[in-house]
């Protein structure tokens, strides 16, 4: 099995630092940043299988960041996290996000790790 490399992007530093540590304990190599700009600067220099993005961040939404990241790293997969919104917001966001997946905060680490593995190891069609 290949090592899964994940980039976590959320303006809540405590959250992404904790998620990265807990994913590491589950065999998933996770790096984190707290701004969209940092994520975009890192992307050309490192390869990630998947990015976990907060939906609402200062200066740029998670969906806008996803579009920019896809231009640099085609084929990257995405999971969105949010602490805001209704079911309708998720349906609208999911339609815009394409094949991405949404998780509500607080994020259950086992659910996140399982979804990351599922998305990375699924066969491309």
State the pLDDT at residue 125.
39
| Distance between CA atoms of residues 87 and 56, nearest Å | 16
State the pLDDT at residue 104.
84
Q: Which CATH number among 3.40.50.1460, 3.90.600.10, 1.10.3720.10, 3.40.50.2300 corresponds to the domain 4-121? A: 3.40.50.2300
**Tokens 């809540």, residue located:** 12
Contact 50, 78 (CB under 8 A): yes
Number of other residues whose CB lies within 10 A of the CB of residue 58: 9
pLDDT per 10-residue tile (average), the chain, 125 residues: 92 97 98 97 95 93 93 93 67 61 89 95 64
Instruction: Indicate the domain borders of the chain.
Output: 4-121
Query: Shortest CA distance to 71 belongs to which of 101, 114, 39, 103?
Result: 39
Rg of the chain taking only CA atoms, in angstroms: 13
**Tokens 């990241």, residue located:** 69
Greatest Cα-to-Cα distance within the chain, rounded to the nearest angstrom: 37
Give 28: exposed, middle or buried? Use CB within 10 Å, 0-12, 13-18, 19+: buried
State the pTM of this model.
0.88
Number of other residues whose CB lies within 10 A of the CB of residue 105: 14
């Amino acid at each position: 099995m290949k090592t899964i490399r994940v980039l976590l992007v959320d303006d809540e530093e405590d959250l992404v630092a904790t998620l990265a540590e807990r994913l590491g304990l589950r065999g998933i190599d996770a790096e984190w940043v707290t701004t969209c700009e940092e994520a975009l600067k890192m992307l050309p220099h490192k390869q990630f299988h998947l990015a976990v993005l907060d939906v609402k961040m200062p200066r740029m939404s998670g969906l806008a960041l996803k579009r920019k990241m896809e231009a640099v790293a085609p084929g990257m997969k995405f999971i969105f996290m949010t602490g805001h919104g209704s079911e309708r917001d998720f349906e609208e966001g999911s339609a815009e996000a394409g094949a991405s997946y949404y998780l509500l905060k607080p994020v259950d680490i086992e659910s996140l790790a399982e979804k990351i593995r599922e998305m990375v190891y699924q066969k491309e069609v």
